[in-house]
């Protein structure tokens, strides 16, 4: 087995610190505690899955770190377009499914990948999936991510925002999964990117938690909760059909429970669920089916 590089270990250390910092912030706003589940991967490496279930604010939240290595499966090398016999991958990923329908779901991940051919790159991103649309939330989320990118020469918010809009698109529905954020991959200036990822480790919480605080006490009823569960169905569809991270994990013998922890705990697939014209629910659909908006100039 090929040795892991110094950069790999530095990236893993960074991601473990980000995991600890984020969990502390999420526990502070929820009041609940994340369970710990350490696991080993057959063939090399493992991870630490941390999940909060049935919290006061988050119905389900997960912040996971993994660091795996081993022979590169053929499907993986074909998917990535690299010739390699061995790979190492480490990263931190998170998903936050709120209890209140007026709080958006938030997803983010930061990752580092290397092979025995000497190739290495960083990837990651963060995106917001609201159930009800609020201008204030959208502008705050994008502005915070943009400012983090601007603090680093390697950051490219506008390009990564466009990539995110293109990636989180459900072609079979003709709509976006949410209101986007940033998404980047195969960034080969790894030292600069790891510095930026360190900054993003804080920014993804700064971008989201004020939104949570703004809506966590908002009153809602059965109709709003039903809509939330219907929209979660779109989240499930994307993750199971299109998401590259899900495919990567399954193709590299990742731990299935940790890969699918991103799925929401409650979801509905009602037939032909269409909101009433002019309703707040329809306002969200109008945003998701329109050309991507410009949040930061």
CA–CA distance, 154 with 222 (Å, rounded to integer): 45
Q: Are 94 and 51 in contact (CB under 8 A)?
A: no
Is 107 part of the annotated catalytic residue set?
yes
Tokens of 71: 């022979």
Which residue is catalytic, options 107, 140, 142, 229? 107
User: How many Cβ atoms from other residues are within 10 Å of residue 162's Cβ?
Assistant: 15
For residue 24, with 0-12 CB atoms within 10 Å meaning exposed, 13-18 middle and 19 or more buried, which class applies?
exposed
According to DSSP, the residues that pair with 113 across neighbouring strands are 89, 121
| Sheet of 35-40, strands arranged across | 35-40, 45-53, 58-71, 86-98, 105-115, 120-129, 180-187
Could you list the active site residues? Answer: 107
């Amino acid at each position: 087995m090929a040795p892991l590089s110094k950069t790999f270990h530095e990236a893993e250390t960074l991601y473990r610190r980000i995991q600890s910092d984020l969990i502390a912030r999420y526990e502070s706003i929820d009041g609940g505690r994340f369970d710990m589940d350490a696991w080993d991967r057959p063939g090399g490496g493992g991870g630490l899955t941390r999940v909060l279930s049935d919290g006061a604010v988050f119905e389900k939240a997960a912040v996971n770190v993994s660091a795996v290595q081993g022979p590169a499966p053929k499907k993986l090398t074909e998917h990535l377009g690299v010739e390699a016999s061995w790979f190492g991958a480490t990263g931190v990923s998170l998903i936050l499914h709120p209890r209140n329908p007026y709080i958006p779901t938030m997803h983010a991940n930061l990752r580092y990948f290397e092979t025995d051919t000497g190739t290495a790159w960083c990837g990651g991103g963060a995106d917001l999936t609201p159930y009800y649309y609020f201008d204030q939330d959208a502008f705050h989320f994008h502005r915070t991510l943009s400012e983090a990118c601007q603090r680093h020469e390697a950051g490219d918010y506008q390009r990564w925002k466009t990539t995110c809009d293109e990636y989180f698109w459900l072609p079979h529905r003709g709509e976006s999964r949410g209101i986007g954020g940033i998404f980047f991959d195969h960034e080969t200036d790894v030292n600069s990117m790891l510095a930026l990822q360190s900054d993003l480790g804080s920014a993804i919480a700064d971008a989201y938690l004020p939104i949570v605080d703004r809506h966590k006490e908002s009153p809602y009823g059965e109709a709003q909760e039903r809509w939330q569960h219907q929209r979660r169905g779109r989240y499930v569809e994307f993750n199971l059909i299109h998401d590259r991270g899900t495919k990567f994990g399954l193709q590299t013998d990742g731990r299935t429970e940790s890969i699918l922890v991103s799925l929401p705990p409650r979801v509905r697939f009602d037939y032909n669920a269409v909101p009433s014209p002019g309703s707040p629910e329809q306002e969200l659909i109008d945003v998701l089916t329109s050309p991507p908006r410009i949040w930061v100039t």
